[in-house]
Amino acid sequence: MRRIVLVAALLAAGCSTQTAPKSHEVTLVTHDSFAVKQEVLDEFQRTSGITVKQLASGDAGELTNKLVLTKGNPIGDLAFGVDSTFASRALQEGVFAEYASPEADKGAQRYKADDTGKLHAVDVGDVCVNIDTGALAGNEPKSYEDLLDPKYKDKLVVENPATSSPGLAFLLGTIAKFGENGWQEYWTKLKANGVKVVSGWEEAYTQEFSGSSGKGPRPVVVSYASSPSAEEGRTKALLDTCYRQVEYAGVLQGAKNAEDARKVLDFLLGEKFQAQVAEQMYVYPSREGVALPESWAKAAPLPEKPQQLAPDKVRDGRERWVEQWRTLVQG
Amino acid sequence: MAHPRSRLNRRSRLNWTLAALLPLGFLAVFFAWPVLAIITLGLREGGISEALTSADTWELVAFTLGQAAAATVVAVITGLPVAFVLARCKIRGLGVLRAAVMVPFVLPTVVVGLAFRAFWPDGGVLPIVLANAFFNVAVVARTVGGLWAHTDRRAEDAARALGASRPRAFLSVVLPALAPAIGSAAAVVFLFCATSFGVVLILGGARYRTLETEIYLRTVELFDLSGAAALSLIQFAAVIAVLLLGALARRRRETALALKGREELARRPTGGEWAVVAAAGAVVLALLTPVVGLIIRSLSTRDGWSLAGYRALATTGERGTLSVSGVEAALNSLRTATDATAIALVVGVFSAFVLIGLKRSGSRVSEALDTALMLPLGVSAVTVGFGYLVTMDALPGDFRTSPLLVPLAQALVVTPLVVRMVLPVLRAVDERLRQAAATLGAGPARVWLEVDLPLVGRSLVAAAGFGFVVALGEFGATSFLARPDAPTLPVVIARLMSRPGALNSQMAYAACALLMVVTIACVLLIERLRVPSSGEF
């Protein structure tokens, strides 16, 4: 009996530590990579009187699916981190509510997912082929086609599009570039040229890639346009091999505190937050006129002409493409 | 005379059945309900029979069970010599060794996966099996060692005196006495390996997939809930089948072992025992290889050795990569692990007593409850996690986002471990001791307190340590439910690993080293605790 009481006491203790819903508390559901400078968040909380409670919910795919699963009774008030690969799915399921933010036309509109005004672009995180400039001195590839050159045999490592978000983005980039009918031929040649496939970015970048601290054997890797900013000039992104990934935020349909959630959304699109996304999340601000950190200007500029696919095209094709890719490259 | 006795039995059976409601209730609310809810949701979408009849699926099942069985065999074979040393040998530095074997358990799978990839750059079946075994040697060493430390040495000595060779004495005297603990450990290891996720993903590339990785991909990336539900059902069935097999194997005559204090039994190894000690040493060295590798990575930069990674741990990273410093993350880890261990100990020890009580009063519910408690080890974390999303909002205060959900989810994993570690010892308590106490007028509660508790005290402490360590290293449930303002060390390591830049990588490995130090310190500390009078039997 005493044990039962103890359990009850434990449960009660747990419940009492849970903060009672304050009138100005907003739950921001994010992907795992969300990060914000503490001072910037503190200042927003001080000036707005809103307390932002963060809830990390996996990668972009996991986040999207969790939002879909809980759309009847959302786990938060707004969400950040649904990307262009999953945007269409979230919109189709009616996860987000419309909101015309006063900050939405300051640059975010350039990357919009559709015209409904439900999702707002917060940042851009393009996926590009990165190279180890030291290892390939004077012999650098530039384009998708260059990677088929025998001089780059056994040099490239990519991530599995079934298990990795940059891996999927790279596959989508090749589909955008070579078309529905051409991409399979490209990958067949890539395979013949010794492309190595690993399951995630960590293995590819920190272990296989020669330009990172892991000093691996392969000088060409699929990573982000921003990665070179952290490698002190040893690496470079190939700007002709990029695929545009946009990360969105939106107020959730059925949010308990929609009014304050809108203010948090304005904050995400506002100048102060936008100015620190590069350093905090290794992505590019969606807002116009926000300066990038100095080291980025040279090492990691925003790709000007990345490959792109319309969100609904991605939604319809994704599973089929990944399956076809699997048979082609793995089979 | 028979009549009042059977009435007594019936009454005690009723009492124990009522008591069983507590662990069952915990399981029902935090396991069965969410899992069934998410599976039902998937089933409603249809398409189940497709998944069930596909040859792909059955290949998946075969590979999953095959690699888990192989890893279990490796873990048992390598764990036994270590168990012997921990239980029977008087060697300097044993406390540290006991703590050190726990280290693999807390290491993030991505770190271990990368370490194994350094030896097998292309992955494959062998590294998957070895990596899974690597994580689980400690389960065997500690579970078997716990019972071994208390089994009377005299039977073995008698066999030897009567002319049995050392191997013969081991096979016919020691091994049968240890069988329940070995069976327990093997069951746990098997379930851990069957549901292992990170190492299969990293070392299997896209070639080798298991039920677990496939359920994850279908649920999380493809949102194919019906496919995931079909696979979950298969996983469920496979786990139950394995558990029943295990229960069948365990259903031997319960042996009342003469339990002794470890101090009394441990002695300096002699003669051939040194060979076992050497084997244990080799196993520990093998376990330490990835650990040494990660310490080297935490210290090395392009320009030579540096402590920058460790210095950075006091901060929130190069550009404020983290929301808290490494030290704060360690504290967060300690806090959630403490909560989880407390909950799991209460539920686990209570369950173990209930299991014994039910069995003794002749109830058949015992086996069923035993199996039920093990189920959470064999079911996908993602199934449970997504299940929480669709059910826990019905609990007061929207439990889906409650900070308490993390320790509760962890307790689900730790409870069966506690049961498995305490139960073999508890079962071995000589019934006559209890009867003697009862004859002398002690009530049931008094009997527990005065007879059972002191006897199992040691294994209870070990179970607490083990549970604590599992909770410390647990990533599945925490990453699923973690709150960014209070990330634990494994969450911080994952975040650092996912960033480019030399310092982030160094800091990630330094955080691993910190996690190891914290683990060893906690285990040493917990092992110092002595349940009163536990040394005096």
Q: Is A317 in CB contact (< 8 Å) with chain B?
A: no
DSSP assignment of A50-101: PEEEEEE-SSHHHHHHHHHHTTTS-SSSEEEEEETTTHHHHHHTT-EE----
Residues A131, A184: one domain? yes
**Confidence (pLDDT) at B475:** 62
Q: Beta A220-224 vs A156-159: how paired, if at all?
A: parallel
Q: Alpha-carbon Rg of chain A, whole angstroms?
A: 22
**Contacting residues of B for A229, CB less than 8 Å apart:** 500
How many structural domains is chain A composed of?
2
Question: Directed axis angle between helix B453-473 and helix B125-148, to 10°?
Answer: 160
Helix (H) or strand (E) holding B50: helix B48-53
Residues A149, A202: one domain? yes
* CB-nearest partner of A69 from B204, B386, B484: B386
Q: Is A10 in CB contact (< 8 Å) with chain B?
A: yes
What distance in Å separates the CA atoms of residue A198 and residue A326, rounded to the nearest whole number?
13
**Confidence (pLDDT) at B532:** 41
Tens of pLDDT, residue by residue over A221-276, are 999 999 999 898 899 999 999 999 999 999 999 999 999 999 999 999 999 999 99
**Contacting residues of A for B350, CB less than 8 Å apart:** 3
Per the CB < 8 Å rule, is B404 touching A15? yes
How many structural domains is chain B composed of?
1
CATH number for the domain harbouring residue A223? 3.40.190.10
Per the CB < 8 Å rule, is B386 touching A66? yes
Residues A34, A149: one domain? no
**Contacting residues of A for B121, CB less than 8 Å apart:** 217
Per the CB < 8 Å rule, is A18 touching B22? no
CATH number for the domain harbouring residue B355? 1.10.3720.10
Q: Is A69 in CB contact (< 8 Å) with chain B?
A: yes
Q: Is A92 in CB contact (< 8 Å) with chain B?
A: no
The one-letter code for the residue type at B282 is A
Tens of pLDDT, residue by residue over A93-120, are 999 999 999 999 999 999 998 899 999 9
**Contacting residues of B for A296, CB less than 8 Å apart:** none
Interface test with chain A among B44, B223, B380, by most A beta carbons within 10 Å: B223
**Contacting residues of A for B202, CB less than 8 Å apart:** 198-200, 203
User: For chain A, which ranges sit under pLDDT 70?
Assistant: 1-22, 331
**Contacting residues of B for A330, CB less than 8 Å apart:** 206-207
Per the CB < 8 Å rule, is A54 touching B484? yes
- DSSP secondary-structure letter at B80? H
**Confidence (pLDDT) at B478:** 53
**Confidence (pLDDT) at A2:** 38
**Contacting residues of B for A195, CB less than 8 Å apart:** none
Cβ neighbours around B297 below 10 Å, total: 23
Q: Is A324 in CB contact (< 8 Å) with chain B?
A: no
Residue of A nearest to B403 (CA): A18
Residues A224, A205: one domain? yes
Per the CB < 8 Å rule, is B389 touching A89? no
* CB-nearest partner of B206 from A27, A162, A212: A162
Sign of CA dihedral B82, B86, B87, B88: positive
**Confidence (pLDDT) at A153:** 96
**Confidence (pLDDT) at A67:** 94
Interface test with chain A among B109, B110, B221, by most A beta carbons within 10 Å: B221
Tokens of B97: 């060794």
**pLDDT tens for each residue of chain B, 537 residues long:** 445 555 656 777 787 788 888 888 989 999 999 999 999 998 887 777 777 788 888 889 999 999 999 999 999 999 999 999 988 888 888 878 888 888 887 788 888 888 898 888 888 899 999 999 999 998 899 888 878 887 778 888 888 889 888 888 888 888 888 888 888 889 889 998 998 888 898 898 767 889 999 998 888 888 888 889 999 999 989 888 888 887 776 665 445 555 666 666 677 887 778 888 999 999 999 998 888 888 988 888 777 888 888 888 887 766 666 767 888 888 888 888 888 888 888 888 888 888 888 877 777 777 788 888 888 988 888 898 889 988 988 888 788 877 778 778 878 888 888 887 787 777 777 778 888 888 888 887 888 778 777 777 777 787 788 788 888 877 655 555 555 667 788 888 888 888 888 888 888 899 999 988 888 888 888 777 654 433 322
**Confidence (pLDDT) at B413:** 82
What distance in Å separates the CA atoms of residue B243 and residue B237, rounded to the nearest whole number?
10
What distance in Å separates the CA atoms of residue B275 and residue B282, rounded to the nearest whole number?
11
Domain membership flag for residue A12? no
What distance in Å separates the CA atoms of residue A288 and residue A291, rounded to the nearest whole number?
9
Residue B393 burial class via C-beta count within 10 angstroms: exposed 0-12, middle 13-18, buried 19 and up: middle
Q: Is A85 in CB contact (< 8 Å) with chain B?
A: no
DSSP assignment of A140-173: ---STGGGGSGGGTTTEEEE-TTT-HHHHHHHHH
**Contacting residues of A for B389, CB less than 8 Å apart:** 66, 69-70, 75
* CB-nearest partner of B498 from A30, A201, A319: A201
Q: Is A148 in CB contact (< 8 Å) with chain B?
A: no
**Confidence (pLDDT) at B6:** 59
**Confidence (pLDDT) at A21:** 45
The end-to-end CA distance of chain B, in Å, is 34
- Minimum distance, in Å, between the CA of residue B88 and any CA atom of chain A: 34
What distance in Å separates the CA atoms of residue B129 and residue B498, rounded to the nearest whole number?
25
Return the SS3 of B150. coil
* CB-nearest partner of B393 from A73, A226, A229: A73
Residues A176, A280: one domain? no
Write out the residue range of the structural domain in which residue B289 sits. 11-22+30-528
Domain membership flag for residue B133? yes
**Confidence (pLDDT) at A18:** 43
In the A/B pair of chains, how many CB contacts fall below 8 A?
159
**Confidence (pLDDT) at B257:** 57
The model's pTM is 0.86
What distance in Å separates the CA atoms of residue A309 and residue B85, rounded to the nearest whole number?
61
**Contacting residues of A for B407, CB less than 8 Å apart:** 14
Residue B70 main-chain phi, psi, to 5 deg = -60, -45
Per the CB < 8 Å rule, is A206 touching B505? yes
Q: Is A275 in CB contact (< 8 Å) with chain B?
A: no
**Confidence (pLDDT) at B256:** 52
What distance in Å separates the CA atoms of residue B476 and residue B490, rounded to the nearest whole number?
10
- Minimum distance, in Å, between the CA of residue A61 and any CA atom of chain B: 5
Question: Directed axis angle between helix B453-473 and helix B405-428, to 10°?
Answer: 150
What distance in Å separates the CA atoms of residue B140 and residue B181, rounded to the nearest whole number?
8
Per the CB < 8 Å rule, is B506 touching A213? yes
* CB-nearest partner of B114 from A32, A207, A213: A207
Sign of CA dihedral B148, B154, B158, B161: positive
Domain membership flag for residue A8? no
Residue of B nearest to A53 (CA): B485
Residues A92, A42: one domain? yes
**Confidence (pLDDT) at A4:** 40
CA-nearest of A77, A75, A95 to A87 is A95
Residue of B nearest to A166 (CA): B498
CB proximity list for A162: less than 8 A, separation 6 or greater: A168, A322, A325, A326, B206, B217, B221
Per the CB < 8 Å rule, is A70 touching B389? yes
Write out the residue range of the structural domain in which residue A193 sits. 127-243+301-330
**Contacting residues of A for B498, CB less than 8 Å apart:** 33, 201-202
Residues A121, A131: one domain? no
Residues A63, A119: one domain? yes
- DSSP secondary-structure letter at B410? H
**Contacting residues of A for B482, CB less than 8 Å apart:** 56
* CB-nearest partner of B497 from A70, A202, A279: A202
ipTM of the predicted assembly exceeds 0.90: no
Domain membership flag for residue B4? no
Residues A166, A64: one domain? no
Residues A28, A72: one domain? yes
Separate counts of helices (H) and strands (E) for chain A? 11, 12
**Confidence (pLDDT) at B260:** 63
- Minimum distance, in Å, between the CA of residue B104 and any CA atom of chain A: 20
